[in-house]
């Protein structure tokens, strides 16, 4: 019988060979759960640690865990885990905040450039059997464009470094940013003190916020109406940051020119057809993905489990 029991609550990776090999070194058995919440809980209730991706772990789930010491989430956000309930039960919660920074920044830049250069309209022109630039007008030179970043964490900072070489100006709104972080930011980045000020003064907005009660619905009809009608919105963070109905209305009514989404609310969308509106570019929550990023996530999340079970310090505790 193994010394420890570690349960994967929802398996999304091609294999869990990385986890199994690492955990074997501390005599830990790895069990991959399947089924719905109740089936997973039956398997997980006697676990010493959980590895988690999307499965919600609420207060009732936490209270059913008999000896769990840590819930290690493979991703960055932890909005699917009740952090207070876990802390009250003396269960550490960890994430991997730095595993896909390069990938998400690159994906965000791709969406931004595609919208600013009006690639969706260009592709539709050719599909319609036409060969002219009528549908793509107007396009502005990138050196005349300002991009606004809402939130300035690791991903946004990496994205911001990629904009000046293209001639793009960058404006940031982040009410939680320290004075030191502002002082050490790239010289090409400027800061504003209000979301409304940013929305009304830029050609593109990119969201880089965690999902919290305060940020849910951060971009709704009122905020979209503040943006210039030629502007575009990109969201590669969390779907509920944006009121999807308000966004679709803004695109259809011409209040907003374009939007690039890698995340929506809910996921998966109940009706993908409603996302196929002019000006909307949607990808299936893939910004985080590269083979290297997946392996890094598996390695780092499993390391947090091992550190907890062997009494070592944690790298990424969030509660």
Per-position pLDDT tens, the chain of length 319: 899 999 999 999 999 999 999 999 999 999 999 999 999 999 999 999 999 999 999 999 999 999 999 999 999 999 999 999 999 999 999 999 999 999 999 999 999 999 999 999 999 999 999 999 999 999 999 999 999 999 999 999 999 999 999 999 999 999 999 888 888 888 889 999 999 999 999 999 999 999 999 999 999 999 999 999 999 999 999 999 999 999 999 999 999 999 999 999 999 999 999 999 999 999 999 999 999 999 999 999 999 999 999 999 999 999 9
Residue among 169, 208, 238, 257 flagged as catalytic: 238
Per annotation, catalytic residue among 20, 182, 216, 285: 285
The span from the CA of 197 to the CA of 312, in Å, is: 46
Query: Known catalytic residue: 285?
Result: yes
Which of 267, 274, 292, 312 is flagged as catalytic? 267
Domains and CATH numbers, the chain: 4-99+291-309 (3.40.50.720), 101-282 (3.40.50.720)
- A 10 A CB-CB count for 101 gives 19
**CA distances in angstroms from 59 to 83, 87, 89, listed in the order given:** 9, 11, 10
pTM: 0.92
For residue 238, indicate whether it is catalytic. yes
Packing angle of the helix pair 17-24, 291-309 (nearest 10 deg): 30
d(CA 172, CA 157): 10
> How would you class 161 by CB atoms within 10 Å of its CB: exposed for 0-12, middle for 13-18, buried for 19 or more?
middle
3-state SS, residue 105: helix
């Amino acid at each position: 019988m193994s010394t420890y029991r570690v349960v994967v609550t929802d398996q999304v990776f091609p294999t869990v060979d990385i986890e199994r090999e690492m955990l074997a070194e501390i005599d830990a058995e790895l069990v991959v759960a399947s089924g719905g919440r109740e089936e997973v809980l039956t398997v997980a209730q006697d676990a010493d640690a959980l590895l988690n991706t999307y499965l919600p772990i609420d207060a009732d789930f936490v209270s059913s865990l008999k000896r769990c010491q840590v819930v290690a989430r493979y991703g960055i956000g932890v909005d699917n885990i009740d952090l207070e309930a876990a802390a009250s039960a003396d269960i550490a919660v960890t994430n991997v905040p730095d595993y896909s920074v390069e990938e998400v920044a690159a994906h965000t830049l791709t969406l931004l450039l595609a919208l600013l250069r009006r690639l969706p309209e260009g592709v539709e022109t050719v599909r319609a059997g036409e060969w002219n630039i009528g549908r793509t007008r107007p396009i502005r030179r990138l050196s005349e464009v300002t991009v606004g970043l809402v939130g300035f964490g690791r991903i946004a900072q990496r994205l911001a470094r990629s904009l000046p070489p293209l001639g793009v100006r960058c404006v940031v709104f982040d009410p939680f940013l320290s004075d030191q972080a502002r002082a050490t930011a790239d010289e090409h980045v400027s800061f504003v003190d209000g979301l409304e000020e940013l929305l009304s003064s830029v050609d593109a907005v990119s969201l880089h916020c965690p999902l919290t009660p305060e940020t849910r619905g951060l971009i709704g009809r009122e905020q979209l109406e503040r943006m210039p009608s030629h502007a575009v919105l990109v969201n590669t963070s969390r779907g509920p940051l944006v009121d999807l109905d308000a966004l679709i209305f803004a695109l259809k009514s011409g209040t907003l020119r374009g939007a690039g989404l890698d995340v929506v609310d809910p996921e998966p969308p109940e009706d993908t057809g409603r996302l196929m509106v002019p000006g909307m570019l949607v990808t299936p929550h893939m910004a985080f993905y590269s083979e290297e990023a997946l392996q890094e996530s598996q390695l780092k999340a499993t390391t947090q489990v091992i550190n907890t079970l062997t009494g070592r310090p944690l790298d990424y505790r969030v509660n």
